[in-house]
Structure 1
Amino acid sequence: MKPLALVDALDAAELGGKAASLARSLRAGLPVPPGFALGATQVDAVFQGDALVSAGVREAFTRQAGPCAVRSSAIGEDSENASFAGQHVTILNVRLEDQVIEAVLKVRESAFTESALAYRRTIGMSEAPRVGVVVQRMIEPDCAGVMFTKNPLNGADERVIEASWGLGEAVVAGLVVPDNYALDGEGQVLRRTAGEKDLALRSDPEGGTFEEPVADDLVEALCLDDGMLAALHDLAVRCETFFGKGLDIEWAFSGGTLYLLQCRAMTRNR
């Protein structure tokens, strides 16, 4: 059992919804970082110490030729009824072969915490977790964040964008007060509000991440200019054309290039 190239990871029942969504995004020509995916059976094999499967994971990681992000793709995750947001860990900036095996195991373990199991019970999922894993080339963002393609509070037809300096996990984890933007359905800016972004999450050269203080003149400076907002609107249109309305998108700008990190349906149970 060798890992699948992410573009081929279409089987949500074995590889999880996140992997399948990213595979479909790649096939649609959306700007997703390359990577590979492990099915739940493979992840369990790594957990059980299967040397052959673990060797395949190391080999696939080496072919990525650089640091990677290791993310959960549990069966049932990122569905319309449950996102599992904040329940499963993401391991960023994995740089060594042995670290990727450790990261896969940490992602699997996070699905069995009391918090994650309690979340499953609240949404009516009584079966034991089955966890796939996505390993993608690490992006080093200038800024990153999230975008809802309709207003998550009232359902209005507008893009709501949150942004901060550095890795988007600072926004997702609530480490900063991000900039907030709203665009109408045609991409016109309705409002923009500067946040208080006093730190940026950055990749550590030794692996993992660290919190870097943001220069005083950037703490309340807007991350996104009009051109970047237009690019995000275009990405929203392309994603909605392929996946339908009402999406929760994670994105990053690096060196002027916009990347799609995740695209899932907005959920009732976050």
Structure 2
Amino acid sequence: MSAGALRPLEDAADPEAFGGKSAQLSEALRAGLPVPSGYALDWTSVNAFVSGDSSALTDVLAVADACPWAVRSSAIGEDSEDASFAGTHVSVLGVVGPEALRNAVHQVFDSALDENAAEYRRQRGLDPAPRMAVVLQKMVAADVAGVMFTRNPVSGADERVIEASWGLGEMVVSGRVTPDQYRLAPDDGHLIERWPGEKDLALHLQADGTVAESEITGELVERCCLDGSQLEELHDLATHCDEVFGSTAHDIEFAFAADRLHLLQRRPITHG
């Protein structure tokens, strides 16, 4: 590969080159947390590509057909303690082949030019010109996915709050379904309370590597999608994140595929 523009995620630890999301995933991978494999492309290469230099994606296109990819934003300053950018930049799922990968990188970069993203940077005194790196993460064929806050994001209470639904986690983070919600004690992970959601839609990885939406019907709509052993695994993951990141306030996206837990991303809990 050329001058280090594309790096395996475990080597993409510099947040000033590869952005906050890449740096967080890199640290998690090197600590042995269950992060799907992938790569990070530095922000200067992304800028060069969107400015017309197609050669800036040479290394990326060489791995385009290796597997279906999730192409995620990793802006400089993103997923930091002061600015999460959660819900501001896009992720593109089920990316297969060179042309789709080119388009996905453009989509991720263009999301940083959105008016809401620009206003977010202005409010926090960040550079108005986005520096957008990207993460290429191997897609996980999730049966169940969601988010976990290791402190209550509304009240600040010392408890784990988990929201989950069938299929890929996009339905949860986009608010398109009412997910199941679980509250766990932070010390031993015992279940404090749970509420079944209305999970009538799901997004799944298809055989061709793309993603497709489907309707959920019958008793699955209100059946809780996480069982006791999965909740225990999530509690253990949170505890391991405490040890790795030296903090007890994590915003985690996770997925279970064939009963195996995957950590898709981790950021500090912020209030903005």
| Common topology (TM > 0.5) | yes
- Secondary structure at the aligned position of 1:78 is classed as coil
Is contact 1:57–1:101 with CA below 8 Å preserved after alignment?
Answer: no
Give 1:98 shift: 1.6
Find the partner of 2:240 among 238, 241, 263.
238
Q: Is the CA contact (8 Å cut-off) linking 2:180 and 2:224 kept in structure 1?
A: yes
Deviations 1:170-206 (A, max 9, x none): 0000000000001101111001110000111123556
Quote how far apart the aligned CAs of 1:133 are. 0.2
Contact 2:255 2:263 in 1 (8 A): yes
Judge conservation of contact 1:179–1:222 (CA < 8 Å) in 2: yes
Deviation of residue 60 (structure 1)?
3.0
Map 1:125-144 onto structure 2 (within 5 A): 125-144=126-145
| 1:181-260 mapped onto 2 (5 Å cutoff) | 181-185=182-186, 186-205=188-207, 208-243=210-245, 244-260=247-263
Q: Corresponding residue for 2:103?
A: 102
The amino acid of 1:257's aligned partner reads R
Q: Percent identity?
A: 51
Partner Cα separation in structure 1 for residue 227 and residue 97 of structure 2: 36
Cα distance change, pair 17–188 in 1 and its aligned pair in 2 (3 A):
same
CA contact under 8 A between 2:142 and 2:205: conserved in structure 1? Answer: no
In 2, Cα distance between equivalents of 1:137 and 1:58:
14
User: Residue 149 in 1 paired to residue 169 in 2?
Assistant: no
Residue 73, structure 1, aligned to residue 95, structure 2:
no
How far apart, in 1, do the equivalents of 2:232 and 2:57 lie? Answer: 43
1:169 is aligned to 2:170 = yes
- Alignment partner of 1:11 out of 14, 20, 38: 14
Contact 1:37 1:134 in 2 (8 A): yes
CA–CA distance in 1 between the matches of 2:99 and 2:124? 35
Q: Aligned residue for 1:158?
A: 159
How far is 1:207 from its partner?
A: 5.8
In structure 2, what residue type is equivalent to 1:85?
Answer: A
Kindly state the Cα deviation for residue 127 of structure 1 after the two structures are TM-superposed. Answer: 3.1
Task: Tell me if the contact between 2:203 and 2:211 (Cα under 8 Å) persists in the aligned partners.
Answer: yes
CA distance in 1, matches of 2:126, 2:207: 40
Stretch moving more, 100-109 or 207-216: 207-216
State the 1:97 CA deviation. 1.4
Instruction: Name the stretch that deviates more: 68-77 or 119-128.
Output: 119-128
| Deviations 1:203-256 (CA, angstroms, capped at 9, x unpaired) | 355664332111211000000010000000000000111111110000000001
Structure 1 distance, partners of 2:59, 2:195, is 47
Out of 53, 57, 63, the position equivalent to 1:54 is: 57
Paired AA for residue 7 in structure 1:
E
Checking the alignment, whether the CA contact within 8 Å between 1:3 and 1:60 is kept in structure 2 is no
Gaps of 5+ in 1: none
Using structure 1 for the length normalisation, give the TM-score: 0.95
Partner of 2:36: 33
1:83 alignment partner in structure 2: 84
Aligned residue in 1 for 2:265: 262
Q: Counterparts of 1:156 and 1:122 in 2: how far apart (Å)?
A: 27
How far off its partner does 1:102 sit?
1.2
How many pairs were matched up? 267
Note the residue ranges of structure 2 that are not aligned, 5 or more in a row.
none
